Amino acid sequence: MILSVDRVHKSFAAPSGPIEILCGVDLHVKEGETVAIVGESGSGKSTLLSLLAGLDVPTRGSVCVDGADLASLSEVDLARFRARRLGIVFQQFHLMSGLTALENVSLPLELQNAPGALDRAREALDHVGLAKRADHLPSRLSGGECQRVAIARALVVEPALLLADEPSGSLDARTGEAIDRLLFELVERRGATLVLVTHSDRLAASCDRRLALVDGVLSADA
Ligand SMILES: Nc1ncnc2c1ncn2[C@@H]1O[C@H](COP(=O)(O)OP(=O)(O)O)[C@@H](O)[C@H]1O
Ligand SMILES: [Mg+2]
């Protein structure tokens, strides 16, 4: 299993006491599998993805990615693990505004002193159709183009696991569909493992498995 989530709980503090958002989530994903997670707004999908990404820690339970129990890693090792093994695409792109498209894509490689970072970043930008926009800052790119850059940045490290949280959620319908298609094409071409949060039935239907997060628990979606 590339991803093993076992009995994961997550609570947040609230004035009236802790609120449990995730109440025993189990999820096991094989290498090369594509899994869609659907669920109502506020059901905890982004919370779950942030636990899978090691950006937050479960209240109880364990998350193992590519054989590593995230809770057993030091901050430094976790950051390194994230940079090398995970690709993450967020709804709001999260590009560095002061860096060009090319610099955004090469950054994860530069941070790990990977050889040929700029060449690999150029190639990744080419794969998302943005070779000609390499020197543009995000402010000079459209939303769809920014998300293409973010997808290139996520895939440039050839991650063991790609996480995507509503990747087309902030784009208009047509641009969003193009982004969804591109993401799937790249995932399929690489045989990458994908865990995708989406509101799109069409996108979810493209995945090998479709799970619903309801009342803090994941189960097969009817
Ligand atoms: N850091 C946090 N502190 C307190 N509550 C949070 C925090 N993050 C998320 N929540 C709450 O957890 C619930 C689930 O949020 P989220 O995971 O963003 O849902 P979804 O992505 O499914 O829309 C929401 O009620 C949200 O307000
Ligand atoms: Mg969300």
Q: How confident is the model at residue 167 (pLDDT cuts 50, 70, 90)?
A: very high
Strand pairing partners for 6?
A: 62
d(CA 138, CA 38): 29
In the predicted model, is pLDDT for residue 79 greater than 80?
A: yes
In the predicted model, is pLDDT for residue 75 greater than 80?
A: yes
pLDDT at residue 221, rounded to an integer: 84
In the predicted model, is pLDDT for residue 222 greater than 80?
A: no
- Residue 43: partners with Cβ closer than 8 Å, 6 or more residues away: 213, 214, 216
Q: Which atom of ligand 1 is nearest to the CA of 13?
A: 4
Best residue among 37, 40, 47, 198 to mutate for probing ligand 1's pocket (most ligand atoms within 8 Å of CB) is: 47
Q: If you take atom 3 of ligand 1, which residue's CA is the nearest one?
A: 12
pLDDT tens per residue across span 120-144: 999 999 999 999 999 999 999 999 9
Q: Please list every protein residue whose CB sits less than 6 Å from any atom of ligand 1.
A: 12, 21, 39, 41-47
In the predicted model, is pLDDT for residue 174 greater than 90?
A: yes
Q: If you take atom 2 of ligand 1, which residue's CA is the nearest one?
A: 12
The structure tokens listed for 77 are: 């090792």
Ligand nearest to the backbone CA of 213: 1
Q: If you take atom 7 of ligand 1, which residue's CA is the nearest one?
A: 12
Q: What are phi and psi of 217, to 5 degrees?
A: -130, 145
46 CA to centre of ligand 1 in angstroms: 7
d(CA 57, CA 196): 19
Tally of residues, the chain:
222
Task: State which amino acid sits at residue 86.
Answer: L
- Let me know: does 20 contact 216? Beta carbons within 8 Å: yes
* Closest listed residue to residue 101, CA positions, set 143, 164, 170, 148: 148
Report the relative pairing of strands 60-65 and 209-214 from DSSP bridges: unpaired
Best residue among 10, 11, 12, 52 to mutate for probing ligand 1's pocket (most ligand atoms within 8 Å of CB) is: 12
Strand pairing partners for 162?
A: 87, 194
Q: How confident is the model at residue 210 (pLDDT cuts 50, 70, 90)?
A: very high
200 DSSP 8-state letter? -
69 CA to centre of ligand 2 in angstroms: 24
Best residue among 16, 20, 21 to mutate for probing ligand 1's pocket (most ligand atoms within 8 Å of CB) is: 21
The structure tokens listed for 125 are: 């930008």
The sign of the CA dihedral 78, 82, 83, 84 is positive
103 CA to centre of ligand 1 in angstroms: 31
3-93+160-220 belongs to CATH 3.40.50.10540: no
Ligand nearest to the backbone CA of 170: 2
pLDDT at residue 149, rounded to an integer: 98
d(CA 126, CA 152): 9
Q: Residue 147 region, left (φ>0) first, then alpha (ψ -120 to 50), else beta?
A: alpha
pLDDT at residue 202, rounded to an integer: 87
